[in-house]
Amino acid sequence: MDGLLTLPMVLPPTVAGFILLLVFSLRRPFGNFLYTDLHIQVVQTWLGCIVAATVIAFPLMYRSARGAFEQVDPNLVYAARTLGMSERRIFWKVLVPTAGPGILSGTVLTFARAMGEYGATSMLAGNIPGRTATISQRIAMVIQDNDYLTAGVWVVILLFVAFIIVFAMNMAAGGNRKRDRKW
């Protein structure tokens, strides 16, 4: 299972996009089931952009969160069980707060990777202007047209959004770091 969850991290994004295209195509059983029974179309839709970016970026979150949970002292869990806490409560009240910095860094990495996703998104969702075009695809398209000014505007917007989100994440985690400073 670990290999399956980590696989998109080592596959070229276009290969992962091709596999997603095969899975969600209306000509394949799963894609046909989604479309005919649930009225959900993934290929060449905004949902395809989300699915592709999630699949490509998810391994970063998975590996970061897994590493953070593995670093939690098992004695904390044993102590919580001794105090009569349920497994669900132990997860939310002991494990998640303790692994929080790793989960937060995984979230930032995942977001950054998903924002820059190009290959799998192009394969699964296409690049339909006004419908499935992402900022990364838009930058590539305007550069092909030698429109560096428009590309520069999109790059600045993307940098600004990324900076604001990373800043907000750092501010959210800042309360914990102030107590832990040793210098």
Query: How does pLDDT run across 43-67, given as a tens digit for each residue?
Result: 999 999 999 999 999 999 999 999 9
Tens of pLDDT, residue by residue over 154-165, are 999 989 988 888
Regarding pTM above 0.95, the answer is: no
CB 106 within 8 A of CB 60: yes
Residue that the structure tokens 């969702």 belong to: 125
pLDDT of amino acid 166? 79
Query: Concatenated DSSP letters for 14-69?
Result: HHHHHHHHHHH-TTSHHHHHHHHHH----TTSHHHHHHHHHHHHHHHHHHHHHHHH
- Distance in angstroms (rounded) separating the CA atoms of residues 127 and 139: 12
Residue 175 to residues 101, 105, 179, 180, Cα–Cα distance (Å): 11, 15, 7, 9
